Amino acid sequence: MTTRGARRTDTKLSDGRDLIYYDPADAPVRVPLADTRGLAAPKPQVDLRTDPLTGDVITFATHRNTRTYLPPADQCPLDASTPDNPTEIPDHDYNVAVFANRFPSFAGPGRTEVVCFTSDHNKSFTDLSQGQARLVVEAWADRVAELSARPDVEYVFPFENRGREIGVTLSHPHGQIYAYPFLPPRIRTLMARAREHFEATGGNLFADILAAERKDGIRVVAENATWTAFVPQAARWPVEVHLYPHRQVADISELTETERDDFVQLYLDVLRRFDGLYDDRLPYIAAWHAAPVRVDRELGYLHLELLSIRRAADKIKYLAGSESGMGAFISDTRPEDVAETLRKVGA
């Protein structure tokens, strides 16, 4: 079937997990090939416990300790399948593929999925064409809409980890989607702050932050007609950039065609600035922040937070005593200086 700018093809893997292909809308109809691996049905072991001190939900997923870890390039489970390497994608090629994680962090309530950005093992999101990156956005939007409709999901979180320093165990260009059966701690905090701000001012916290950053301009890295990228004034991470649409929307599925196009243009621009910072691929986490599925939805404001733990060309920011023990960040970099440097990288 066709979903706005993409053609979607649904199939199943041999253990019953869902696999979805996303191709350009004008691509030929895909006839999915069968997964010949004969995998046994997964039996995830997940236990959710609430910390009585903080109210945070901690997930214990002990089966994940046996997940695939840094396989050789010719045995990557996210590549398209070959006779010598049958993979999670049982086809000779693909554009974007999404499948239920074989080693999920949530099972029963909630869901975790893997999003493969391209079949090219050696690429990064930074290397994608405008059209290919746009196809990833279509896949994100479709999955967010579908997962948000599930009764066991409270928050949908698409994200990407890049680089071994971040903890990536598969080098193929991919991200994940966590459909949490609870509100993650950061979102609980953000929504509490957003409600306080609304009750005090009548305004939307995120919209007011964006307006202030655009007016000041000193921390703006780049912008276009519908999006702005800026370093937040209280950035926690050595390199941190937030990308905001100029219009308040709850999640990716609500973006217009123009907003999706403009996001891709700006995001690829910012990623290339990241890689130009030290003339190397910067390890990063790209974290979509959206409104909760049910509660405080009117207070949410879709945006992407992009961060790196590299504080210099040869140094990593480790979360040590103050950060890990007290949650109090101490930064080695000044947001205004980071913004200026990133602007110059793209000049």
pLDDT at residue 1, rounded to an integer: 61
Quick one: tokens of 134?
């746009």
pLDDT tens readout for residues 126-139? 999 999 999 999 99
**162 and 231 housed in the same domain:** no
**Domain span at 217:** 186-345
CB 345 within 8 A of CB 282: no
> Hunting for tokens 């948000």 — which residue is that?
148
Specify the pLDDT at position 197. Answer: 98
**What pLDDT sits at residue 210?**
98
What percentage of the chain has pLDDT greater than the value 90?
A: 90
CB of 178 closer than 8 Å to CB of 105? yes
Is residue 300 within 8 Å of 191, Cβ to Cβ?
yes
Domain endpoint, select from 182, 202, 220: 182
197 as an active site residue: the answer is no
Give the per-residue pLDDT at 18.
Answer: 98
The neighbouring-strand residues paired with 20 are 10, 98
Residue 347's pLDDT band (boundaries 50, 70, 90)?
Answer: low
Average pLDDT estimate for 4-27: 95
CATH number at residue 88: 3.30.428.10
| The one catalytic residue among 92, 121, 172, 174 | 174
Kindly state whether residues 245 and 122 are assigned to the same domain.
Answer: no
Tens-place pLDDT, residues 187-197 = 999 999 999 99
Same domain, residue pair 100 and 195: no
Residue 5: band (very low, low, confident or very high) from pLDDT cuts 50, 70, 90? confident
Q: Is the separation of the CB atoms in 128 and 136 below 8 Å?
A: yes
When the pLDDT of each residue in the chain is averaged and rounded to a whole number, the result is 95
Q: How far apart are CA 293 and CA 106, in angstroms?
A: 17
Q: Give SS3 for 59.
A: strand
Round to whole Å and give the CA distance between 246 and 223: 10
Same domain assignment for residues 166 and 232: no
**175 and 131 in one domain?**
yes
The closest of 292, 333, 328, 294 to 312, measured between CA atoms, is 333
CA atoms within 13 A on the CB side of 281: 16
Q: Which of 28, 320, 270 is nearest to 133 (CA)?
A: 270
pTM of the model: 0.96
Sign of CA dihedral 60, 64, 70, 74: negative
When mean pLDDT is compared across 48-52, 168-172, 209-213, 308-312, the lowest value belongs to: 168-172
**Do 165 and 269 belong to one domain?**
no
Question: 111-116 and 96-100: which strand pairing?
Answer: antiparallel
Q: Is 105 in the same domain as 202?
A: no
Query: What percent of the chain stands above pLDDT 70?
Result: 99
Work out how many domains the chain is built from and give that number.
2
Strands 315-316, 174-180: pairing is unpaired
Residue 320 main-chain phi, psi, to 5 deg? -100, -140
Is residue 67's pLDDT more than 90? no
Tokens of 1: 């079937």
Residue 142 one-letter amino acid = D
Q: Is 180 left (phi over 0), alpha (psi -120 to 50) or beta?
A: beta
Please indicate, yes or no, whether residues 340 and 221 belong to a single structural domain of this protein.
yes
Residues 49, 152: one domain?
A: yes
Q: How far apart are CA 339 and CA 76, in angstroms?
A: 36
For the record, the structure tokens of 176 come out as 């994940």
Any idea how long the chain is? Answer: 347
Q: Are residues 164 and 18 in the same domain?
A: yes
Read off the pLDDT of residues 239-295 as tens digits, 9 standing for 90 and up.
999 999 999 999 999 999 999 999 999 999 999 999 999 999 999 999 999 999 999
Q: What is the pLDDT of residues 89-100, one digit of tens each?
A: 999 999 999 999
Out of 164, 182, 200, a domain closes at: 182
67 and 197 fall within a common domain: no
2 pLDDT band, cuts 50/70/90, is low
Q: Which of 135, 167, 182 is the last residue of a domain?
A: 182
Same domain flag for 173 and 267: no
